[in-house]
Amino acid sequence: MPLTFAFDVYGTLIDTAGITQSLNRLVGDQASLFSSRWRDKQLEYSFRRGLMRDYVDFSVCTRQALKYTSAQLELPISDAAAQTLLDEYRRLPAFPDVPTALEQLKSAGHRLYAFSNGLPDDLEALLDSAGIRHAFIDIISVHEIRTFKPDPAVYRHFLARSSATADNSCLVSSNPFDLLGGMAVSMRTAWIRRSSANHFDPWDRQPDLTLTSLTELQQAFNG
């Protein structure tokens, strides 16, 4: 039976560590640490703003997190360099397993959507640059309802926009907080565990599937 797949974008389809090469030119051997801290703070800001009902779009969270990380690590980045990094955030690469996995699922008749905290225009540019925009029926962004994952309203919005039900949809994400949000509205879930260093939150709930690669999805749902 065909399913409706909700694919998280940042960290699931798109490798946010792809910014590290550019950071290398700015902060040298601190690039990996900087990239990780930046990503963590970006998500923290989205969580906090969601709880506070003080919405700004995800690009603002990204920019403010960059500024904070630069100050925290005492690694100054000029305004011009910061803008270059933010522009490059719209051109990050897809993980190597993504194109094949999406084509397999699409060929099998499943309905694929990109589902993200990002702005619609940013997501269009990002997925197009990564060469995978054509795989998706549409892009569904939290910007449409002005809150962030893992607010349950976001997942209900996805189901309404995609004309899907919780039992015939599957949220695919590398982010445990995202999957827990989907579980809150009874969506099926698949965790893409891209590193053995990643661990699922011990909340007495587990995803329906735990996979190490997106290419395992087709086999999991079609045998």
Do 151 and 167 belong to one domain?
yes
pLDDT tens digits, residue range 148-178? 999 999 999 999 999 999 999 999 999 999 9
In angstroms, the first-to-last Cα distance of the chain is 12
Do 8 and 22 belong to one domain?
no
Residue 45 sits at φ, ψ, to 5 deg, of -60, -40
Do 55 and 164 belong to one domain?
no
Rg (CA), the chain: 17
| Boundary-marking domain end, from 88, 104, 136 | 88
| Boundary-marking domain end, from 88, 115, 135 | 88
Do 28 and 99 belong to one domain?
no
* Of 8, 15, 57, 178, catalytic: 8
The answer to whether 8 is a known catalytic residue is: yes
Mean pLDDT of 190-207: 95
| H or E element in which residue 85 lies | helix 79-88
The overall longest dimension of the chain from CA atoms, in Å, is 53
Decide: 39 and 23 in contact? Cβ < 8 Å: no
| Structure token pair of residue 158 | 């996805």
Q: How far, in Å, CA of 95 to CA of 16, rounded?
A: 9
Nearest to 171 by CA among 195, 106, 181: 181
Residue 223 has pLDDT above 70, yes or no: no
Do 26 and 107 belong to one domain?
no
What is the pLDDT, as a whole number, of residue 21?
84
| Domain hosting residue 158, numbered range | 4-14+93-222
Do 59 and 102 belong to one domain?
no
Q: How far, in Å, CA of 128 to CA of 45, rounded?
A: 26
Do 81 and 101 belong to one domain?
no
Do 156 and 125 belong to one domain?
yes
Residue 57 has pLDDT above 60, yes or no: yes
Which has the higher per-residue pLDDT, 90 or 145?
145
- Please calculate the CA angle 26-38-41 and round it to the nearest 5 degrees: 155
- Quickly count: other Cβ atoms within 10 Å of residue 219's Cβ: 10
Nearest to 3 by CA among 116, 205, 193, 163: 163
Do 10 and 21 belong to one domain?
no
Report helix, strand and coil shares of the chain as percent, to nearest 5.
Answer: 50, 15, 35
CATH code of the domain covering residue 23: 1.10.150.240
Do 55 and 136 belong to one domain?
no
Do 60 and 113 belong to one domain?
no
In the structure, what pLDDT confidence band is assigned to residue 118 with cuts at 50, 70 and 90? very high
CATH code of the domain covering residue 187: 3.40.50.1000
Do 61 and 71 belong to one domain?
yes
Number of domains in the chain: 2
pTM given for the model: 0.95
What is the pLDDT, as a whole number, of residue 94?
96
190-217 in b/e form (b: 16+ CB < 10 A) is bbbbbeeeeeeeeeeeebebebeebbbb
Which has the higher per-residue pLDDT, 16 or 206?
206
